[in-house]
């Protein structure tokens, strides 16, 4: 019975992770992966230390040091993404799901409808909400 509960808990955790990764921005996903990796390494080192295998724990720590350092340096380096380039009218219309020639009221309706679905307060993505805001602002300027 304990194994069944453990398997059920693991499945629920994986489902929650899946839902998060679908809605998360690339930066949030990278931070989560780094946190999970750090927790797994720390847990393994703790178990090895508590079971009297301290030399093995230190060897694992030293072996993983370059990998951790590479992750740390990558996080410190700003990464250019596609959002640095200016948005075009066709991109803004595509984001809001509109056709060319949409009037101001149609733009507002599409923005409201989409924002209600993907707002961060509704388990949505901050990245996608920012894209919607940028598309609306571009079309209404």
* Residue 133 contacts residue 108 (beta carbons within 8 Å): no
Provide mean pLDDT across the span 86-115.
89
Predicted confidence band of residue 83 (pLDDT cuts 50, 70, 90): low
Q: Mean pLDDT, to the nearest integer, of 64-80? A: 69
CB 132 within 8 A of CB 114: yes
Query: 126-140 vs 89-96: helix axis angle to the nearest 10?
Result: 120
Q: Which residue has the higher pLDDT, 48 or 93?
A: 93
Mean pLDDT along residues 82-97: 80
**Angle, CA 34 vertex, CA 77 and CA 54 arms, to 5°:** 120
Q: Which residue has the tokens 């679908």?
A: 22
Instruction: Place 11 in a pLDDT band, splitting at 50, 70 and 90.
Output: very high
């Amino acid at each position: 019975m304990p194994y069944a509960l453990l398997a059920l808990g693991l499945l629920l955790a994986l489902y929650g992770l899946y839902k998060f990764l679908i809605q998360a921005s690339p930066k949030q996903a990278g931070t989560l992966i780094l946190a999970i990796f750090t927790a797994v390494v720390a847990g393994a080192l703790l178990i090895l230390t508590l079971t009297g295998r301290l030399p093995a724990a230190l060897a694992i720590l030293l072996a993983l040091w370059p990998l951790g350092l590479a992750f740390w340096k990558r996080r410190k380096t700003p990464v250019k993404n596609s959002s640095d380039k200016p948005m075009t009218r066709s991109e803004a219309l595509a984001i809001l799901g509109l056709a060319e020639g949409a009037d101001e009221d149609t733009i507002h309706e599409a923005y409201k409808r989409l924002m209600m679905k993907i707002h961060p307060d509704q388990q949505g993505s901050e990245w996608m909400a920012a894209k919607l805001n940028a598309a609306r602002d571009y079309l209404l300027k």
